[in-house]
Amino acid sequence: MKIGIDARKIADTGIGRYIDSLIRALLEQERDHQYVLFLAPEHMEAYSFPRERVECVCAEVGKYSIREHWALGTMALRAGVALFHEPHFTLPLYTPCKKVVTVHDVIHLLDPKVGQLQKTYARWMISSALKRADQVITVSNHTKENLVAMFGADPERITVTYNAADSGFGPMSRDDIDKELGRLDIAQGYFLFVGSDRPHKNIQAVAKAMAVMRQDTRFVIVGRMASAARALFAPFDGRVTFINSAGKKTITALYAGARALFFPSYMEGFGLPPLEAMACGTPTVVSSRSSIPEVVGGAAELVDPDDTAGAAALLERLRDDDRFHTELAGKGMARAATFSWKETARKTLEVYERAMS
C-alpha cells in the first residue's frame, strides 16, 4: 500500500516530534508499504529517509492556507496514494483517497490567546475532519473524550496511540552531564521547565513558586519566552537561565542534570516533557489536569497548577530528601519504559488497515 503523510510540520515542536518519530518507527515495521512524504521546500534536504521505501514530494503549500485544501489532495492523487494521513486537524477538504487524521488536542478552542477567527476555523476544521476521515487517531484518552463530548464524534472510529520519549533520552553520567552543561555555564542542581509562554503552559506558576522557595533556588527555562514572560523573573537576581531551544544532546543533559522537572500546564494533548524527563531519571512535579495524569500514571507528583505553595513544597522536598528523590526517579524511569514509538507505529498501521477496509 502507498501511504501519504503530510509532513510539512515536521520541524515544529510537539507535532513535529510526532511526525518525525512516527515516520521513522513506521519504516522499522516489517510491512510492505511505501510512503510518500509531503515536505516543505526547506525540509527536503534537512530530513533523510531510505529512498527504497520513501518518496519525498516538495509541497510548497502554506500551513493553514486555503490552497492546502486542494493542492495536497492533487499531489496525493498524482503520487498514487491509497491512504492519506494528516497528522494535524487540518485534513484537506479535497482528499480523493482513504483518510486518517490525528487530532492531538483542542487547545486551539480553549487558549485565550487564540483569536476568534482562528478558533472558528479550528472548530470547523476539527468537525470536518472527524466527519470525513475514515479513521481518527488521538494521542490520549483525554483528547478522545474531548472530541466525543465537544463534537459528538463516534468513539468507535477513534484510536488512542500514545507518544513516547525518543530512544536517545536516558540517564547520563555526572561527567557527561557536566561536560554538556558546561558549554552553557550551568551547574547541576537546578529545577527545569520545558515549554513556552503560551497561557496554557502556565509559566507564571514557575515565578510564583520561586517567590516562596529558598533564596538559592535556580531554574532553567527551555522554550520560547517573550519579554513579558522573562520579566516575571526579574526579582530573582540572575537565578534563572533562559534557553530558547536545545538540540537532542543538550536537552537530554538538561533533563538529566535537573533535580526535578516542573510542568504546571493547564492543558495538554499528551505532554512529552514529563515522559522525557522520567526517561532520563529525573523526578517530575506535574499538573493534575488534562492528559498529564494519564501519561505519568503514578510515577510523578501531581499538583493543581494553581497551587503554588504545594508545588514549591514538593520541589523543595525533592531537593532535600534523597530517598524521596531516588524513589520517584525509579518510578519515572519504569513508567517511561512502557511507552515506545514502535508500539505507536504498530497501532497506527492497524488504523491504516482499518481505514482501507
Beta-bridged to residue 54, according to DSSP, are 35
Q: What percent of the chain has pLDDT over 90?
A: 91
Residues in the chain: 357
Is the CB of residue 28 less than 8 Å from the CB of residue 341?
A: no
Q: What rounded mean pLDDT belongs to the chain?
A: 95
Mean pLDDT value across residues 75-99: 97
pLDDT of 225 above 80: yes
Do 2-164+340-356 and 174-336 show the same overall fold? yes
Please give the pLDDT value at position 162: 98
Q: List Cβ neighbours of 303 (8 Å cut-off, separation of 6 or more).
A: 264, 285, 286, 287, 288, 310, 311, 314
Residue-wise pLDDT for 117-129, tens only, equals 999 999 999 999 9
Is the whole model's pTM more than 0.85, yes or no?
A: yes
Q: With cut-offs at 50, 70 and 90, classify the pLDDT of residue 257.
A: very high
DSSP 261: E
Class of CATH domain 2-164+340-356: alpha beta
Mean pLDDT value across residues 312-320: 98
Residue-wise pLDDT for 125-169, tens only, equals 999 999 999 999 999 999 999 999 999 999 999 999 999 999 889
Please give the pLDDT value at position 288: 98
Please give the pLDDT value at position 258: 98
Please give the pLDDT value at position 112: 80
pLDDT of 3 above 80: yes
CA–CA gap between residue 263 and residue 193 (Å, rounded): 6
Q: Which of 265, 339, 334 is nearest to 298 (CA)?
A: 334
Q: With cut-offs at 50, 70 and 90, classify the pLDDT of residue 30.
A: confident
Residue-wise pLDDT for 183-203, tens only, equals 999 999 999 999 999 999 999
Domains of the chain, by residue range, sit at 2-164+340-356, 174-336
Please give the pLDDT value at position 54: 95
Please give the pLDDT value at position 167: 85
Which residue shows C-alpha cell 492528559?
291
What architecture is domain 174-336?
Answer: 3-Layer(aba) Sandwich (3.40)
* Phi, psi dihedrals of residue 54, rounded to the nearest 5°: -130, 130
Please give the pLDDT value at position 218: 98
Please give the pLDDT value at position 93: 96
pLDDT of 92 above 90: yes
Q: In degrees to the nearest 10, what's the CA dihedral of 335, 141, 355, 84?
A: -80
Please give the pLDDT value at position 113: 78
Please give the pLDDT value at position 13: 82
β-pairing, 54-58 vs 34-39, is: parallel
Which residue shows C-alpha cell 483518510?
99
Residue-wise pLDDT for 327-339, tens only, equals 999 999 999 999 9
pLDDT of 301 above 90: yes
Residue-wise pLDDT for 170-180, tens only, equals 999 999 999 99
State the helix-helix crossing angle for 248-257 and 174-182, rounded to 10 degrees: 120
Please give the pLDDT value at position 51: 84
